[in-house]
Amino acid sequence: MVPADPDAVNRRQYHPRIVLSDLRESWFIDRLRIPTRVVLAPMAGVSVQAFRRQGRRFGAGLVCSEMVSCAGIEHRNEKTLGYLRVAADEHPLAIQIFGSDPAVMADAARMVAAAGADLVDINFGCPVRKVTRTGAGATLLDDAGRAARIVEAVSNAVDVPVSVKMRRGLLDGSRTCLDVGPKLVEAGAATLTLHPRSAQQMYTGTADHALTSELVSLVDVPVIASGDVDTRARAQAVLATTGAAAVMVGRGAQGNPWALREIVDGDGREPTREEVVAELVLFIRETVRELGERRASGFLKKFYGWYLGRGRFPKPFKQELVVLSSTEEVERLLIAAAPGALPLLEQLEDELPAASEIVLGSLPISIYGGG
């Protein structure tokens, strides 16, 4: 039973720390109820609507868009990969924005909140040069004053909670996040996500969750632990040792929604070939609906390897799919390889809610890398 008072829930869960073993337990970000302790990460070139909706089906309590350029929103001239859509069945949803100007960020936040975001997430973690050279992303960790002004401007601009995703700092060994984090909370952040790698590390090495534990002890809002969480055992260990409210799953869920099911429910059985094909074909169809055939055809190629890898299908088969010129051809080859997927696919489509969408025709999704 979910307690009616989120403030009471937060007091119990974050002060003092308790060991959380049930990842299906709900929690709150301000007044926003999140139904499980697993958050699907924002990932550039990955976190389209089809990916987010699938994540919700497999147990993610909160899903996130890839980061959206505030400059692109302001100028309406950024080359886009797609238009932002919010479907009825992906709530609760965080839409992530990035930029360096507080006023521009505030205007962007108003737009994404109007689009249907339940949470406005600010990116202070992206290490990609195209972003950091503009003064955005992880660079803002070295400018605590500006970072706090951005959070304050965004939180004053919208009625939904504001979150911040950050890295430990720019350089290896940095502890900047421990100085900046409390200032962001004071400025209005309702939750923090920490990926305890440096921007310099990119995605190499390991995430230092001892730093996550220290951050938890410094702030009175829920902290989400990001980095190297790819199994239920790892998720439980991170929650138990850090006192974090939830874990964020990123690369482990690419082409592998079953990882989310294993983390949330403990169901570690490997999917059958038929289940893999059914999910992949559904993902293809939903992505084509969202992006159109031309853009979807190129976008989907990386997903074929992700879905069909892990020993599920032979490598030559994956290579065959990549060179096909249309998604219809890909779908035919997949069904021919696993005909038993058809009834599963029909069942999935019958159960899938209609995507009641709000479409902002002028709101671009960023082409840049994610944090």
The answer on pLDDT for 319 being more than 70 is yes
pLDDT at 71: 67
The answer to whether the bond into 16 is cis (omega within 30° of 0) is yes
Phi–psi pair at 124, nearest 5 degrees: -120, 30
pLDDT at 363: 45
Q: Which residue has the higher pLDDT, 265 or 11?
A: 265
DSSP-derived pairing of the beta strands 223-226 and 246-249: parallel
Query: How many CB atoms within 10 Å of residue 312?
Result: 18
The answer on pLDDT for 244 being more than 80 is yes
Q: How many CA atoms lie within 13 A of 9 on its CB side?
A: 18
Contact 112, 105 (CB under 8 A): no
Mean pLDDT across the chain: 87
pLDDT at 133: 77
**Read out DSSP for 54-98?**
HHHHTT-SEEEPPPEEHHHHHHS-S--S-EEEEEGGG-SEEEEEE
The answer on pLDDT for 39 being more than 50 is yes
- How do residues 138-168 score in pLDDT, each as one tens digit? 789 999 999 999 999 999 999 999 999 999 9
Kindly list the catalytic residues. 126
Instruction: Indicate if the alpha-carbon torsion angle 170, 171, 176, 177 is positive or negative.
Output: positive
Burial 124-161 (b: 16+ CB within 10 A, else e): bbbbbeebbebebbbbbbbebeebbbbbbbbbebbebb
- How do residues 67-89 score in pLDDT, each as one tens digit? 887 765 665 534 333 446 788 88
Please give the Cα distance from 150 to 141 (Å, whole number).
Answer: 12
Question: Which pair of tokens denotes residue 98?
Answer: 């990035």
Question: Which pair of tokens denotes residue 173?
Answer: 């060994």
Please give the Cα distance from 126 to 141 (Å, whole number).
Answer: 11
Please give the Cα distance from 287 to 360 (Å, whole number).
Answer: 17
- Dihedral of the CA atoms 243, 255, 94, 7 (nearest 10)? -30
Please give the Cα distance from 284 to 357 (Å, whole number).
Answer: 18
Burial 223-234 (b: 16+ CB within 10 A, else e): bbbbbbbbebeb
Query: How many CB atoms within 10 Å of residue 8?
Result: 11
Please give the Cα distance from 185 to 180 (Å, whole number).
Answer: 9
Query: How many CB atoms within 10 Å of residue 114?
Result: 12
pTM: 0.89
> What band does 18 get if pLDDT is binned at 50, 70 and 90?
very low
The highest-confidence range among 135-139, 161-165, 317-321, by mean pLDDT, is 161-165
pLDDT at 219: 98
What would the mean pLDDT of 185-208 be, rounded to a whole number? 94
The answer to whether the bond into 196 is cis (omega within 30° of 0) is no
Nearest to 325 by CA among 360, 357, 300: 300
The answer on pLDDT for 135 being more than 50 is yes
Q: Which residue has the higher pLDDT, 317 or 17?
A: 317
Opening angle at CA 32, ends 242 and 222, nearest 5: 15
The answer on pLDDT for 196 being more than 50 is yes
